[in-house]
Amino acid sequence: MSSRVAVIGIGITEFGELWDESYRALITKAGTEAINDAGIEGNEIDGLYIGSMSPGLFSGQEHVSSLVADYSGLAGIPATRVEAACASGGLAFREAYISLKSGLMDIVVAGGVEKMTDSPTSSVMITLMGAGDQEWEAFKGATFPALYALMARRHMFEYGTTLEQISEVAVKSHHNATLNPNAQFKFNVTLKQVMNSPPVAEPLRLLHCSPITDGAAAVVLATEKKAKKLCENPIWVEASAISTDTIALHDRRSLSRMDASIRAAKYAYEQANLKPSDIDFAEVHDCFSIAEIMAIESLGFCKPGEGGKLTEDGETKLDGSIPINPSGGLKGKGHPVGATGIAQIVEVVEQLRGDAGKRQIDGAEIGLTHNIGGSGGTCVIHIFSNR
């Protein structure tokens, strides 16, 4: 097995309703930026992994591995599409990482892309719900806001988590997004605005939900030997972990905990030989505000049931003890589902390079990404360091 793997280049588009950008334009833009950032030529790339959840249903375009290779001017190279719902990007990165660790490749691009806003919300909901259990959830009328609402209710019932605490996640995410030039929602919201926003699936309201988004992100990964030759500030992958769980929520051991996250976190900490207190900051999957509270508990930043309090106490803010989602998260930055896992990695790399501008976390050396598919059927976690 080859030695360490590093990220040596990053690229990301603006996130939002990008009606004048096509699917292929978005991913080509992010990929080109990543390749330029790495300072490499196309002919040095050994492979391409693309995370995309549902381009066929969102845009009518399948076979996107070939499409992306073609429109990047790389036709001929091995290209693979990876799908694990909203964890497609994180999993594409992991597949790229494995291809380097196996010794099969030396330099690989991992990208993520989704173009969601060309369809009306009702059909986007149906497409997204393809990531749930069709027979037991979708056919009965459940949507992702509804499934996460069930988790929120159960968390509130078991631990006394309050709607104010859940809402504080959104207030913090929107604030961080104002500091991120690529974010979809660059405006602050107050606790009152979040609590009074229109109901979507009680107790979740509009401002507890991630939006529907277009966007793409890409990173260049290299083996240790190549990274040291090509890059002055490689960001090292310390752990790559995945776990799965039942696809349907009702089959889970608990509605208020995500076993896939708990298991993937355990594997990741073991691989990196680190513990939760060693992590300086994390980008976690806050598709709905309750999901961030459950994520920080699963990652061991606090005990189960204490995520609401940790948030309310301000510990997850940029200047808190464990900053969460400095990018603005899925809530503020946006959630183009297949791109999200790679976008989280782009943020961690920017932070670890010290390039995150106004949202820079002082002295950040170790960052974690946590990317969920569906209601927790997949969880992909990566840990990165700059040393």
Q: Within 10 A of 154 (CB to CB), how many other CB atoms are there?
A: 17
335 binds ligand COA (CB under 6 A): yes
Q: Interface residues for ligand COA in 217-256 (CB under 6 A)?
A: none
97 binds ligand COA (CB under 6 A): no
Query: Does the active-site annotation cover 174?
Result: no
Dihedral sign from CA coordinates of 17, 22, 25, 30: positive
List the one residue out of 47, 64, 9 whose CA is nearest residue 31.
9
- Smaller CB distance to ligand COA: residue 31 or 89? 89
List 6, 53, 109, 287, residue binding ligand COA (CB under 6 A): 287
- Smaller CB distance to ligand COA: residue 208 or 226? 208
Determine the Cα–Cα distance for residues 49 and 82; give it in Å rounded to an integer.
Answer: 7
What is the distance of C-alpha 92 from the center of its chain?
A: 12
200 binds ligand COA (CB under 6 A): yes
Q: Are 23 and 252 in contact (CB under 8 A)?
A: no
121 binds ligand COA (CB under 6 A): yes
List 15, 93, 144, 384, residue binding ligand COA (CB under 6 A): 144
What is the smallest separation between the CB atom of 383 and ligand COA, expressed in angstroms? 23
211 binds ligand COA (CB under 6 A): yes
Q: Which stretch binds ligand COA (CB under 6 A): 99-107, 155-163, 206-214, 303-311?
A: 206-214
What is the smallest separation between the CB atom of 358 and ligand COA, expressed in angstroms? 22
Query: Does the active-site annotation cover 86?
Result: yes
In sequence order, which residues have a C-beta less than 8 Å from that of residue 184 and are 6 or more positions away?
15, 16, 17, 177, 211, 213, 215, 332, 333, 334
Q: Are 372 and 265 in contact (CB under 8 A)?
A: no
Q: Are 107 and 40 in contact (CB under 8 A)?
A: yes
Q: Which residues are catalytic?
A: 86, 335
Binding residues for ligand COA (CB under 6 A): 86, 121, 125, 128, 144-145, 185, 200, 206-207, 209-212, 287, 335
